[in-house]
């Protein structure tokens, strides 16, 4: 081999080695199907990271609970065996107890109230609580206002919910509130829900319109009632193992990517909220749009007193006061 050939070979080897070692591929998981609001957010996040780092970082997205249910994925991120997860707050209170406050039924008035609260000082201060629990929260994402579906009867008021066996998230704040509605809460990981509804293990479930669409629950549920009983935030979480290795400039890129992910997710949620009910009707669901919300709120008086003791009446009032 001539001197020139050796030089060319050496340069080519260095370029190849540099390319191979410079690229890091992260695992990012979520519970919902491809094309769902979580997936749209994951794609926006990963695209921005790859573009802004010139391919030094990229992610492989694992939708549809391919890496486990939400609780398992959050735990994997905490342990450092998974790099990123987009999750509802449902299971997060099991890891970061301070987050349970956002899961109180009827805490948020509407999407505008929820987004202003989470994007503002209250929500941003809450994100600082994660590192001491072995997690890094990049941003609040979104799941949406939860509504009830079932196969027994239309739910117009709280009395109609009485006795229904309903799948709930593994979240004690939700469970306490739902018991006050007369529901028999049945905690269950999300990947098991469709089969449980199909087999009649439970009568119903509760989720936002975007999730009901993405999970195709219209195939196994007859009635939808727009109860809007809980606003379900989302979160983009990563592992300290990932975060602590990033340079300050790369951390800024990842935070920008998280913001773009949130914007894309909320846009998809807004679209699903605008068009989803008509789509679910088309798919055969009977929809109750006029629900007696006051009957549900009245039933919440006992649990709400308990929430005030646990989370602080002033903290709850501060969220309610956001305009």
Question: Is residue 17's pLDDT more than 50?
Answer: no
Token code pair at residue 2: 């001539």
Count the domains in the chain.
Answer: 1
Q: Output the domain CATH number for residue 222.
A: 3.40.190.170
Q: What is the rounded distance in angstroms from the CA atom of residue 287 to the CA atom of residue 60? A: 37
Q: What is the rounded distance in angstroms from the CA atom of residue 303 to the CA atom of residue 323? A: 25
Identify the residue whose tokens are 């008021």. Answer: 157
Percent of the chain with pLDDT over 70: 93
Confidence of residue 275 (pLDDT cuts 50, 70, 90): very high
Question: Is residue 205's pLDDT more than 60?
Answer: yes
Contact 227, 159 (CB under 8 A): no
* Cα dihedral 311→144→266→45 (10° resolution): 70
The average pLDDT across 197-210 equals 98
The chain-wide mean pLDDT, for the chain, equals 94
Confidence (pLDDT) at 20: 43
Question: Is residue 170's pLDDT more than 70?
Answer: yes
Q: What is the rounded distance in angstroms from the CA atom of residue 77 to the CA atom of residue 27? A: 10
Q: Is 33 helix (H, G, I), strand (E, B) or coil?
A: coil
Q: What is the rounded distance in angstroms from the CA atom of residue 131 to the CA atom of residue 206? A: 30
| CA-only gyration radius of the chain, Å | 22
Question: Is residue 16's pLDDT more than 60?
Answer: no
Confidence (pLDDT) at 4: 56
Confidence (pLDDT) at 19: 44
Q: What is the rounded distance in angstroms from the CA atom of residue 90 to the CA atom of residue 298? A: 23
pLDDT tens-digit map of 223-248: 999 999 999 999 999 999 999 999 99
DSSP 259-289: HHHHHHHHHHHHHHHHHHHHHHHHTT-EEE-
Q: Is 147 helix (H, G, I), strand (E, B) or coil?
A: strand
Using the Cα atoms of residue 288, residue 300, residue 123 and residue 66 in order, give the sign of their dihedral: negative
pLDDT tens-digit map of 54-103: 999 999 999 999 999 999 999 999 999 999 999 999 999 999 999 999 99
Which is higher by pLDDT, 20 or 303? Answer: 303
* Helices vs. strands in the chain: H and E counts, helices first: 14, 9
Confidence (pLDDT) at 88: 97
The average pLDDT across 181-210 equals 97
Confidence of residue 3 (pLDDT cuts 50, 70, 90): low
Question: Is residue 186's pLDDT more than 90?
Answer: yes
Q: What is the rounded distance in angstroms from the CA atom of residue 156 to the CA atom of residue 122? A: 34
Confidence (pLDDT) at 18: 45
* Cα dihedral 165→151→177→142 (10° resolution): 130
The average pLDDT across 197-201 equals 98
Confidence (pLDDT) at 46: 98
The contacts of residue 10 (CB under 8 Å, 6+ apart) are none
Confidence of residue 144 (pLDDT cuts 50, 70, 90): very high
Confidence (pLDDT) at 1: 57
Confidence (pLDDT) at 2: 59
Residue range(s) defining the domain that contains residue 220: 3-320
Confidence (pLDDT) at 156: 98
């Amino acid at each position: 081999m001539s001197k020139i050939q050796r030089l060319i070979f050496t340069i080519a080897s260095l370029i190849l080695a540099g390319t191979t070692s410079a690229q890091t591929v992260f695992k990012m998981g979520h519970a919902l199907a491809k094309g769902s609001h979580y997936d749209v957010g994951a794609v926006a996040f990963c695209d921005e990271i790859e573009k802004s780092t010139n391919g030094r970082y990229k992610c492989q997205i694992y939708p549809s609970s391919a890496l486990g249910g939400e609780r398992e994925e959050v735990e994997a991120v905490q342990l450092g065996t998974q790099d990123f997860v987009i999750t509802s707050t449902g299971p997060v209170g099991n890891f970061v107890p301070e987050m349970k406050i956002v899961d109180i039924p009827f805490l948020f008035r509407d999407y505008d109230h929820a987004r202003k609260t989470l994007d503002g000082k209250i929500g941003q201060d809450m994100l600082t609580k994660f590192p001491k629990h072995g997690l890094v929260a990049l941003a609040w994402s979104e799941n949406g206002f939860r509504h009830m579906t079932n196969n027994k009867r239309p739910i117009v008021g709280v009395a109609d919910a009485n006795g229904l066996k309903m799948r709930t998230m593994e979240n004690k704040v939700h469970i306490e509130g739902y018991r006050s509605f007369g529901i028999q809460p049945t905690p269950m990981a999300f990947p098991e829900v469709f089969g449980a509804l199909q087999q009649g293990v439970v009568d119903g479930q509760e989720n936002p319109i975007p999730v009901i669409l993405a999970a195709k629950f219209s195939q196994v549920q007859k009635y939808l009632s727009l109860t809007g009983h809980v606003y379900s935030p989302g979160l983009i979480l990563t592992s300290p193992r990932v975060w602590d290795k990033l340079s300050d400039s790369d951390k800024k890129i990842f935070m920008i990517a998280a913001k773009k992910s949130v914007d894309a997710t909320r846009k998809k949620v807004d679209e699903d909220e605008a068009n989803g009910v008509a789509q679910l009707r088309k798919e055969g669901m009977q929809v109750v749009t006029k629900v007696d919300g006051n009957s549900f709120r009245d039933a919440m008086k006992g649990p709400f007193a308990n929430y005030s003791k646990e989370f602080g009446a002033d903290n709850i009032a501060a969220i309610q006061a956001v305009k």
